[in-house]
Structure 1
Amino acid sequence: MLVLTRKKGERVMIGDDIVITVIDIRGDGIRIGFDAPRGVPIQRAEVIAAVSAANTEAASVGATDGERLVDLLSKPPAEPTDG
Protein backbone atom coordinates (compact mmCIF):
# COMPACT_ATOMS: atom_id res chain seq x y z
CA MET A 1 0.00 0.00 0.00
CA LEU A 2 1.26 3.45 -0.91
CA VAL A 3 0.64 6.04 1.82
CA LEU A 4 0.87 9.73 0.89
CA THR A 5 0.38 13.04 2.64
CA ARG A 6 -1.61 15.49 0.54
CA LYS A 7 -2.89 19.01 1.11
CA LYS A 8 -6.14 20.55 -0.05
CA GLY A 9 -6.09 20.91 -3.83
CA GLU A 10 -3.27 18.42 -4.37
CA ARG A 11 -3.79 15.45 -6.67
CA VAL A 12 -2.71 11.86 -7.11
CA MET A 13 -2.57 10.18 -10.52
CA ILE A 14 -3.37 6.51 -11.06
CA GLY A 15 -2.16 5.50 -14.48
CA ASP A 16 -2.73 8.04 -17.22
CA ASP A 17 -6.43 8.68 -16.82
CA ILE A 18 -7.48 8.53 -13.15
CA VAL A 19 -7.00 11.60 -10.96
CA ILE A 20 -7.82 11.81 -7.24
CA THR A 21 -8.04 15.34 -5.82
CA VAL A 22 -8.20 16.38 -2.17
CA ILE A 23 -11.22 18.71 -2.13
CA ASP A 24 -11.52 19.62 1.54
CA ILE A 25 -10.16 18.65 4.95
CA ARG A 26 -12.43 18.90 8.01
CA GLY A 27 -11.48 17.54 11.40
CA ASP A 28 -10.95 13.81 11.07
CA GLY A 29 -12.42 13.54 7.55
CA ILE A 30 -11.49 14.59 4.06
CA ARG A 31 -13.47 15.07 0.85
CA ILE A 32 -11.87 13.63 -2.24
CA GLY A 33 -12.87 13.82 -5.88
CA PHE A 34 -12.29 11.19 -8.53
CA ASP A 35 -11.87 11.82 -12.25
CA ALA A 36 -11.92 8.58 -14.21
CA PRO A 37 -13.21 7.27 -17.53
CA ARG A 38 -16.90 6.31 -17.54
CA GLY A 39 -16.04 2.62 -17.77
CA VAL A 40 -14.13 2.62 -14.48
CA PRO A 41 -16.41 1.72 -11.56
CA ILE A 42 -15.83 3.73 -8.38
CA GLN A 43 -17.58 2.35 -5.29
CA ARG A 44 -17.31 2.79 -1.54
CA ALA A 45 -16.04 -0.40 0.09
CA GLU A 46 -18.79 -0.39 2.75
CA VAL A 47 -21.49 -0.28 0.06
CA ILE A 48 -19.97 -3.26 -1.74
CA ALA A 49 -19.76 -5.17 1.56
CA ALA A 50 -23.41 -4.39 2.41
CA VAL A 51 -24.64 -5.49 -1.03
CA SER A 52 -22.58 -8.66 -0.83
CA ALA A 53 -23.99 -9.47 2.63
CA ALA A 54 -27.56 -8.82 1.42
CA ASN A 55 -27.01 -11.07 -1.61
CA THR A 56 -25.60 -13.84 0.58
CA GLU A 57 -28.56 -13.58 2.94
CA ALA A 58 -31.05 -13.61 0.06
CA ALA A 59 -29.38 -16.65 -1.47
CA SER A 60 -29.68 -18.58 1.80
CA VAL A 61 -33.49 -18.56 1.81
CA GLY A 62 -34.64 -22.02 2.85
CA ALA A 63 -36.83 -24.30 0.74
CA THR A 64 -39.76 -23.82 3.10
CA ASP A 65 -39.64 -20.05 2.56
CA GLY A 66 -39.61 -20.57 -1.21
CA GLU A 67 -42.47 -23.05 -0.99
CA ARG A 68 -44.52 -20.56 1.07
CA LEU A 69 -43.87 -17.88 -1.53
CA VAL A 70 -44.98 -20.17 -4.37
CA ASP A 71 -48.15 -21.02 -2.41
CA LEU A 72 -48.94 -17.37 -1.83
CA LEU A 73 -48.38 -16.45 -5.46
CA SER A 74 -50.45 -19.36 -6.80
CA LYS A 75 -53.56 -18.61 -4.71
CA PRO A 76 -56.27 -16.45 -6.29
CA PRO A 77 -56.82 -13.04 -4.66
CA ALA A 78 -59.22 -13.07 -1.72
CA GLU A 79 -62.71 -11.76 -2.39
CA PRO A 80 -63.47 -8.47 -0.61
CA THR A 81 -65.91 -8.82 2.26
CA ASP A 82 -68.63 -6.38 3.26
CA GLY A 83 -68.08 -5.35 6.76
Structure 2
Amino acid sequence: MLVLTRKQMESIIIGDDIEIIVLSIDGEQIKLGINAPNSIEIHRKEVYLSIQEENTVAIKAEKKSLSVISKYFKEKNN
Protein backbone atom coordinates (compact mmCIF):
# COMPACT_ATOMS: atom_id res chain seq x y z
CA MET A 1 0.00 0.00 0.00
CA LEU A 2 1.26 3.44 -0.91
CA VAL A 3 0.67 6.01 1.83
CA LEU A 4 0.77 9.70 0.90
CA THR A 5 0.34 12.88 2.90
CA ARG A 6 -1.63 15.66 1.23
CA LYS A 7 -2.90 19.03 2.44
CA GLN A 8 -6.15 20.71 1.53
CA MET A 9 -6.42 21.42 -2.22
CA GLU A 10 -3.47 19.14 -3.00
CA SER A 11 -4.04 16.12 -5.19
CA ILE A 12 -2.68 12.83 -6.43
CA ILE A 13 -2.82 11.44 -9.96
CA ILE A 14 -3.58 7.80 -10.76
CA GLY A 15 -2.61 6.72 -14.24
CA ASP A 16 -3.08 9.36 -16.91
CA ASP A 17 -6.64 10.41 -16.21
CA ILE A 18 -7.67 10.06 -12.55
CA GLU A 19 -7.09 12.88 -10.09
CA ILE A 20 -8.04 12.79 -6.41
CA ILE A 21 -8.14 16.18 -4.67
CA VAL A 22 -8.35 16.82 -0.93
CA LEU A 23 -11.14 19.42 -0.85
CA SER A 24 -11.46 19.94 2.88
CA ILE A 25 -10.43 18.52 6.22
CA ASP A 26 -12.77 18.84 9.22
CA GLY A 27 -11.64 16.91 12.28
CA GLU A 28 -11.66 13.21 11.35
CA GLN A 29 -13.52 13.80 8.07
CA ILE A 30 -11.86 14.44 4.75
CA LYS A 31 -13.76 15.48 1.63
CA LEU A 32 -12.25 14.19 -1.59
CA GLY A 33 -12.98 15.25 -5.14
CA ILE A 34 -12.39 12.71 -7.87
CA ASN A 35 -11.90 13.60 -11.53
CA ALA A 36 -12.10 10.50 -13.69
CA PRO A 37 -13.54 9.46 -17.07
CA ASN A 38 -17.25 8.60 -17.03
CA SER A 39 -16.36 5.04 -18.02
CA ILE A 40 -14.79 4.43 -14.59
CA GLU A 41 -17.20 3.51 -11.82
CA ILE A 42 -16.46 5.10 -8.45
CA HIS A 43 -18.11 3.82 -5.26
CA ARG A 44 -17.53 3.99 -1.55
CA LYS A 45 -16.14 0.63 -0.46
CA GLU A 46 -19.26 -0.39 1.51
CA VAL A 47 -21.43 0.34 -1.53
CA TYR A 48 -19.07 -1.61 -3.81
CA LEU A 49 -19.16 -4.63 -1.48
CA SER A 50 -22.96 -4.46 -1.33
CA ILE A 51 -23.16 -4.42 -5.14
CA GLN A 52 -20.82 -7.43 -5.32
CA GLU A 53 -22.95 -9.35 -2.81
CA GLU A 54 -26.15 -8.55 -4.71
CA ASN A 55 -24.53 -9.72 -7.95
CA THR A 56 -23.48 -12.99 -6.31
CA VAL A 57 -27.03 -13.59 -5.04
CA ALA A 58 -28.48 -12.76 -8.48
CA ILE A 59 -26.13 -15.20 -10.22
CA LYS A 60 -27.13 -17.99 -7.83
CA ALA A 61 -30.83 -17.24 -8.39
CA GLU A 62 -30.31 -17.18 -12.16
CA LYS A 63 -28.54 -20.55 -12.11
CA LYS A 64 -31.35 -22.04 -10.05
CA SER A 65 -33.99 -20.61 -12.41
CA LEU A 66 -32.17 -22.00 -15.44
CA SER A 67 -31.99 -25.39 -13.78
CA VAL A 68 -35.75 -25.38 -13.12
CA ILE A 69 -36.52 -24.29 -16.69
CA SER A 70 -34.18 -26.92 -18.13
CA LYS A 71 -35.80 -29.63 -16.01
CA TYR A 72 -39.26 -28.49 -17.13
CA PHE A 73 -38.42 -28.75 -20.83
CA LYS A 74 -36.67 -32.11 -20.40
CA GLU A 75 -39.78 -33.51 -18.70
CA LYS A 76 -42.06 -31.94 -21.32
CA ASN A 77 -40.08 -33.54 -24.18
CA ASN A 78 -40.26 -37.01 -22.62
| Class of the TM-score when normalised by the shorter of the 2 chains | 0.5 to 0.7
**Equivalent residue, structure 1, for 2:18:** 18
The structure carrying a bigger helix percent of its residues is: 2
Q: Distance in 2 between matches of 1:12 and 1:55?
A: 31
TM-score normalised to the size of structure 1?
0.62
1:56 CA displacement: 4.3
Q: Distance in 1 between matches of 2:56 and 2:19?
A: 34
Question: Judging changes above 3 Å, is the alpha-carbon distance between structure 1 residues 17 and 30 closer, same or farther for their aligned structure 2 residues?
Answer: same
- 1:66-81 residue pairs with structure 2 within 5 A? none
Question: Judging changes above 3 Å, is the alpha-carbon distance between structure 1 residues 3 and 50 closer, same or farther for their aligned structure 2 residues?
Answer: same
Q: Alpha carbon RMSD of aligned pairs, Å?
A: 2.1
Which range moved further: 44-53 or 12-21?
44-53
TM-score normalised to the size of structure 2?
0.66
Larger radius of gyration: 1
Q: Aligned partner of 1:5: which letter?
A: T
> Matched residue pairs, number?
63
Q: Distance in 2 between matches of 1:33 and 1:41?
A: 14
**Unaligned 5+ residue runs, structure 2?**
65-78
